[in-house]
């Protein structure tokens, strides 16, 4: 190989190395952008997860409140019925139930 061929090959190699460095730099910037996008997505997912957990907690609390209100209504109806039977004449109660 002559000296001129060697220098030409060295120049080609340098150009290729420069192009590869530029490509690596571009890829590094793209990867950093993707990492930032993933971080933003994960943050939104965490926010959504927390909101969903809060909704589930509110639903469970509401379900418990409804169960308690139904229980309280049943107890109060039983107490009112027993009080009516206790304080009223049984015949009058039957007369009132028949509507006569």
| Token pair listed for 31 | 């990867």
Task: Give pLDDT, residue 6.
Answer: 67
Q: Determine the straight-line distance between the first and last CA of the chain, rounded to whole angstroms.
A: 127
Task: Give pLDDT, residue 21.
Answer: 92
Task: Give pLDDT, residue 36.
Answer: 94
* Residue 66: pLDDT over 80: yes
Mean pLDDT of 73-78: 94
Which residues span the domain enclosing 32? 3-98
- Measured CA to CA, the distance from residue 27 to residue 35 in angstroms comes to 12
Task: Give pLDDT, residue 100.
Answer: 53
Q: Please count the structural domains in the chain.
A: 1
Window from 26-30, 50-54, 80-84 with minimum mean pLDDT: 80-84
Please state, for a pLDDT cut of 90, what percent of the chain lies above it. Answer: 54
């Amino acid at each position: 190989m002559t000296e001129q061929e060697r220098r030409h090959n060295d120049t080609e190699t340098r150009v290729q190395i420069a192009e590869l460095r530029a490509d690596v730099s571009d890829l590094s910037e793209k990867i950093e952008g993707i990492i930032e996008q993933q971080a933003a997505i994960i943050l939104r997912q965490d926010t959504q997860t927390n909101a969903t957990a809060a909704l589930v907690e509110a639903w469970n609390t509401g379900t418990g409140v409804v169960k308690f209100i139904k229980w309280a209504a049943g107890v109060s109806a039983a107490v009112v019925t027993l009080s009516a039977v206790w304080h009223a004449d049984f015949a009058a109660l039957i007369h009132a139930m028949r509507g006569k």
